[in-house]
């Protein structure tokens, strides 16, 4: 992540008026371009090295916005300009822009290798120095093996009454600063922009640049049209070109398959999806009315307007599915980055890319936090290891596997349970894991008090994380099992007697606590349980230092996970497991991703099977019925009789396991139900349970024996 750094104070010149920060590939500041203003209105620049803390520029200088370039889609055009002010003006409109420190004189000391195989559009200042700078950069980019390089030549922009008219003069001879002809482009099909001949007596003033153009009214669409003129192969696919949604009063109204109403609203240069039932949307309606009328609406009037729009969305709007953090469409997975501009990542078999406007629609709750912007360069899952307190490689692979599972748009998802003594960093490990998939504020919460609370959390979060649990009550365990592997939830709609709110989805779950939380076999059967070792006092870290290091590495860790997800999508059809555990789809997905992590074939299944054995052992120890039955058959051989007879046998033989009526059933029907629950674990221990009916009355018998 980008690190903020305050402007330095020069011992003689004082505080600079502006400081432009050059960063390395990881977002760390390595050079500050400081502007100082003189009393006569002139200005001068001085470099500052924040690493060495010296007032000079480093020998090798990175490109401006280097970290953004490395994280961007490789097919996106990079606009190369003269000066940080111009680059910032373009970045403010959502473009990918860069420059070199020191202008034409310092360009030779800049590293342009990150632009290898990139499309670069050079926009020079309108003067001789700008022309020379553009030519120098063009030559350096050729040596850096840029894919395609174009020098843009822009003459004029003027406004009509109802349309914007964009003229793009093209020089027939780039060595001649005089225009030899006026060629214009017509982008009316995409942008409702018309072309008109430029007035013959108009030329931009000397020194005119892109910042001047934007200050004079150039829009994102205007600059996008200019880019398309020079890179026609991007027509229809350029991430620079985005059309506003179909609008009703400035909004696109639509609904989900569940008939929830939404509005897609243009905010700056991006769109956001808001539920019409949200308080955020009510505030928006009130503010819009205030801006247009100069007075506030009453709460009744706001609600009337909102309900009208809700009806329009439900009965007149299109239908789209909506997703929380992760979704899928046409073989690609989309990950909402959760940032202010609503960017997302598309993951496909061909790799991954960051998008300004994804093909699917995301919704956000107020708790959503931003993911780090992923990076390709230096992406390595081993960067995650120092931030996870694990005892061995097996546990590390299991935690990475859970992260990979959480990147699937659909379940089933294994429930991750972190256990350990006090001081084993359970909460910190859980926070690190969630930070890479679905960060939120707060990162973890206490156990839900009801199934309804769990459903509300699941509607607005992709990952459900519950912290410091001491016990998982049976009703919550059942709900977690359904939400991890699939199952519907229903509850009465607020303020109604007969309407039901239905929720049918799966979510990754993360629990942590000191005691064993998977005593119920059905919960254990769906879980990965990792016991964290105690951290010696001599190895404890300062929390601030820990998170600063993690924030630095997180973009490359996320990049490694995205690389693995792309690999999994590509390999999944050809992966076939010889063993198919309970969570077979999850196991197949992670197995398909193994090459991206550098794991040997079968490494995950080996770790998973080892964990399954440990989980079974923990579930047996925590379940008196399972432990008593296993001990009975192991010590005395096969047993046959009724459920009532089995209760008496077990209570008489093993009173230490069966004395507690809260954990050991006292009635025949409850014991039969518990036997069905523990049978999968007992079967893996070699114990089979057979039920038969005999006699004219159909009396039920239970037979226990070794397989």
If you write DSSP's letter for every residue of 492-506 in order, what string do you get?
EPTT-SS-EEEEE--
Contact by Cβ (8 Å): 314, 352: no
- Which phi and psi angles does 658 have, rounded to 5°? -115, 5
Residues shown for the chain: 707
Residue range 35-54, pLDDT digits in tens: 887 777 677 888 888 888 88
Asked whether residue 674 carries a pLDDT value surpassing 50, the answer given is: yes
Neighbouring CB atoms inside 10 A of 427's CB total 15
Q: How far apart are CA 439 and CA 431, in angstroms?
A: 8
Confidence at residue 405, expressed as pLDDT on a 0 to 100 scale: 96
Which of the four pLDDT bands, split at 50, 70 and 90, describes residue 88?
A: confident
Is 463 strand, coil or helix? coil
d(CA 374, CA 437): 11
Confidence category of residue 252, pLDDT binned at 50, 70, 90: confident
Residue 635 clears pLDDT 70, i.e. is over it: yes
**Residue 1 Cα distances to 27, 114, 340, angstroms:** 6, 19, 15
CB burial readout 206-215, b (16+ within 10 A) else e: eebbbbbbbe
Q: What is the DSSP string of 336-394?
A: E---TT--EEEEETTEEEEESS-SSEE---TTB-PPPPP-STT--GGGGGGGS--SSHH
Q: Is the pLDDT of residue 104 over 50?
A: yes
pLDDT in tens, 263-316: 988 777 788 999 999 988 998 888 877 777 777 878 888 899 899 999 989 988
The confidence band for 558, taking pLDDT boundaries of 50, 70 and 90, is very high
* CA 170 remoteness from chain centre: 42
Q: Does pLDDT of 197 surpass 80?
A: no
Of 628, 626, 611, 549, nearest to 419 by C-alpha is: 611
681 vs 433, higher pLDDT: 433
Instruction: Give yes or no for residue 186 having a pLDDT over 50.
Output: no
**Using CA atoms, how far apart are residues 571 and 578, in angstroms rounded to an integer?**
16
Predicted pLDDT of residue 334: 96
d(CA 551, CA 1): 6
Q: DSSP class of residue 108?
A: G
| The pLDDT value given to residue 185 | 30
580-584: average pLDDT: 82
Nearest to 633 by CA among 678, 700, 668: 678
Please give the residue that has the higher pLDDT: either 106 or 55: 55
Distance CA 213, CA 219 (A): 9
Nearest to 323, CA basis, from 312, 315, 332, 310: 332
Section 106-125 average pLDDT: 87
Of the listed ranges 190-194, 365-369, 468-472, 485-489, the least confidently predicted one is 190-194
535: its two tokens:
């951290």
If we measure between CA atoms, which residue out of 378, 97, 407 comes closest to residue 240? 97
Least confident of 234-248, 520-534, 635-649: 234-248
The confidence band for 337, taking pLDDT boundaries of 50, 70 and 90, is very high
Q: Do 2 and 23 meet the contact criterion of CB atoms below 8 Å apart?
A: yes
602/581 Cα distance (integer angstroms):
14
What mean pLDDT value characterizes the chain?
A: 81
Residue of 621 and 424 predicted with greater confidence: 424
Q: Could you give the CA distance from residue 492 to residue 482 in angstroms, rounded to a whole number?
A: 19
Question: 3-class SS at 278?
Answer: coil
3-state secondary structure of 262: strand
Q: Is the dihedral of CA 161, 163, 166, 167 positive or negative?
A: negative
Under a CB-based contact definition with an 8 Å cutoff, are residues 214 and 93 in contact?
yes
Question: pTM for the full model?
Answer: 0.62
Please, are residues 246 and 264 in contact by the beta-carbon 8 Å criterion?
Answer: no
Give the residues across from 270 on adjacent strands: 267
Buried b (16+ CB within 10 A) or exposed e, 173-196: eeeeeebeeeebbebeeebebebe
DSSP string, 286-336: HHHHHHHHSSPPPHHHHHHHHHHHHHHHHHHSEE--EESSEEEETTEEEEE
pLDDT value of residue 191 = 28
Whether the per-residue pLDDT at 423 is higher than 60: the answer is yes
The token pair that represents 363 in the structure block: 């919704």
Burial bucket for residue 443 (CB in 10 Å: 0-12, 13-18, 19+): buried
Residues 352, 346: contact at Cβ < 8 Å?
A: yes
Higher-pLDDT residue of 454 and 177 is: 454
Percent of the chain having pLDDT more than 90?
35
Among 187, 194, 189, smallest CA distance to 165 is for 194
Distance CA 46, CA 44 (A): 7
CA distance 138 to 146: 9
Q: Which residue has the higher pLDDT, 129 or 238?
A: 129
């Amino acid at each position: 992540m980008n690190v903020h750094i305050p402007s330095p104070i020069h011992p003689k010149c004082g505080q600079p008026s502006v400081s432009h920060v050059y960063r390395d590939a990881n977002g760390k500041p390595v050079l500050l371009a400081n502007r100082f203003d003189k009393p006569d209105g002139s200005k001068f620049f001085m470099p500052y090295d924040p690493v060495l803390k010296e007032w000079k520029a480093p020998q090798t200088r990175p490109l401006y916005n280097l970290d953004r370039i490395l994280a961007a889609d490789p097919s996106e055009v990079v606009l190369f300009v003269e000066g940080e002010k111009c680059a910032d003006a373009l970045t403010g409109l959502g473009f990918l822009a860069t420059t070199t420190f020191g202008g034409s004189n310092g360009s030779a000391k800049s590293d342009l290798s990150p632009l290898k195989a990139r499309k670069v559009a050079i926009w020079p200042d309108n003067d001789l120095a700008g022309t020379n700078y553009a030519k120098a950069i063009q030559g350096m980019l050729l040596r850096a093996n840029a894919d395609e390089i174009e020098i843009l030549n822009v003459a004029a922009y003027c406004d009509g009454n109802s349309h914007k008219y964009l003229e793009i003069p093209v020089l027939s001879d780039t060595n001649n600063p005089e225009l030899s002809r006026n060629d214009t482009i017509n982008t009316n099909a995409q942008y409702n922009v018309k072309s008109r001949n430029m007035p013959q007596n108009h030329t931009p003033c000397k020194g005119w640049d892109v910042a001047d153009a934007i200050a004079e009214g150039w829009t994102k669409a205007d600059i996008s049209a200019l880019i398309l003129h020079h890179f026609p192969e991007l027509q229809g696919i350029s991430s620079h070109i985005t059309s506003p949604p179909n609008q009703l009063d400035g909004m696109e109204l639509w609904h989900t398959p569940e008939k929830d109403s939404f509005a897609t609203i243009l905010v700056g240069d991006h769109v956001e999806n808001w539920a019409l039932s949200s308080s955020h949307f009510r505030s928006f309606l009130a503010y819009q009315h205030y801006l247009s009328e100069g007075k506030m609406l009453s709460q009744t009037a706001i609600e009337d307007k909102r309900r009208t729009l809700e009806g329009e969305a439900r009965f007149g709007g299109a239908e789209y599915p909506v997703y929380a953090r992760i979704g899928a469409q046409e073989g690609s997975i989309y990950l909402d980055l959760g940032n202010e501009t609503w960017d997302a990542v598309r993951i496909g078999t061909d790799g991954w890319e960051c998008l300004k406007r994804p093909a699917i629609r995301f919704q956000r709750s107020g708790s959503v936090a931003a993911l780090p912007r992923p990076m390709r360069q230096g992406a390595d899952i081993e960067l995650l290891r120092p931030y996870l307190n694990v005892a061995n490689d097996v546990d590390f692979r299991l935690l990475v596997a859970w992260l990979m599972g959480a990147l699937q748009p659909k379940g089933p998802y294994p429930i991750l349970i972190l256990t350990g003594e006090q001081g084993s960093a359970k909460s910190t490990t859980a926070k690190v894991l969630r930070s890479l998939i679905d960060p939120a504020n707060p990162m973890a919460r206490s156990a839900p008090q009801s199934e309804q609370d769990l459903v509300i959390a699941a509607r607005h979060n992709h990952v459900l994380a519950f912290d410091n649990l001491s016990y998982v009550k049976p009703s919550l365990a059942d709900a977690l099992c359904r939400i991890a592997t699939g199952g519907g939830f229903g509850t009465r709609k607020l303020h109604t007697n007969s309407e039901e709110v239905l929720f049918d989805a799966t979510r990754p779950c993360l629990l942590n606590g000191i005691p064993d939380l998977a005593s119920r076999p059905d919960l254990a059967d769906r879980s990965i349980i990792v016991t964290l070792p105690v951290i010696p006092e001599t190895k404890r870290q300062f929390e601030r230092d820990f998170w600063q290091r993690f924030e630095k590495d997180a973009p490359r860790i996320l990049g490694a996970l995205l690389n693995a997800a792309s690999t999994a999508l590509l390999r999944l059809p050809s992966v076939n497991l010889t063993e198919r555990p309970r969570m077979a789809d999850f196991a197949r997905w992670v197995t398909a991703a193994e090459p991206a992590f550098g794991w040997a074939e079968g490494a995950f299944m080996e770790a998973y099977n080892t964990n399954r054995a440990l989980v079974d052992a923990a579930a047996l120890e925590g379940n008196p019925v399972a432990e008593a039955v296993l001990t009975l058959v192991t010590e005395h051989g096969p047993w046959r009789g009724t459920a009532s007879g089995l209760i008496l046998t077990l209570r008489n033989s093993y009173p230490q396991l069966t004395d507690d009526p809260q954990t050991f059933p006292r009635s025949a029907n409850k014991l039969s139900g518990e036997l069905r629950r523990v049978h999968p674990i007992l079967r893996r221990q070699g114990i089979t349970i057979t039920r038969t009916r005999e006699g004219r009355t159909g009396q039920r018998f239970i037979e226990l024996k070794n397989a």
